[in-house]
Amino acid sequence: MDLKAYMRQAFTIKRLINASKSRIEELQAMAEWARGVGLKVQASRKIDPMGDLIATITDQKECLLRDCSRLMELQREIKDVTELVKRDEYRLILSERYVKLKSWETIATECNYSLTHVMRIHRRAMLELQNAMLGYSKGD
């Protein structure tokens, strides 16, 4: 996996988390509706729509927790990797983008830079990071 793909993994996991949250909200709304119309939990597993719904919600919440754990671990790894970059400005841009998952526009606004300048800094930061990682792996 190339460096950019590695760094972008957090965005993918964040999207999965958001999708899971939405799905859980939908399922919970369905469960509320089902309670309102009087569906009861049946003793038999064969005909238990409410039980199935609750089990699906529970499964979805477990997936959400796993994804949240993966995201936190990946963000920790990325933070550690960005420490290989010497320039504070470069580390800041990398951290804002790949650890805090901010948009380019937000980073530019918060840093009081143009979007073009942020992209330029990012390009240089990624190059320095790639070189640092190559040097780090050669030193092992």
Mean pLDDT of the chain: 89
- The stretch 101-121 carries a mean pLDDT of 97
Of 78, 84, 107, 57, the residue nearest 14 (C-alpha):
78
pTM equals 0.77
How buried is 25 (Cβ within 10 angstroms: 0-12 exposed, 13-18 middle, 19+ buried)? Answer: exposed
- pLDDT for residue 18 is more than 60: yes
Comparing 15-29, 78-92, 124-138, the range with the smallest average pLDDT is 124-138
Which tokens go with 8?
A: 């972008």
118 burial type by CB count under 10 A (0-12 exposed, 13-18 middle, 19+ buried): buried
The mean pLDDT of 9-17, rounded to a whole number, is 95
Q: Is the pLDDT of residue 21 over 90?
A: yes
Q: Amino acid identity, residue 37?
A: V
Sequence spans of domains, the chain: 1-73, 83-140
Q: What is the CATH number of domain 83-140?
A: 1.10.10
pLDDT at 32 over 80: yes
- Give me the pLDDT at residue 128, please: 95
Please give the average per-residue pLDDT across 65-88, as a whole number: 95
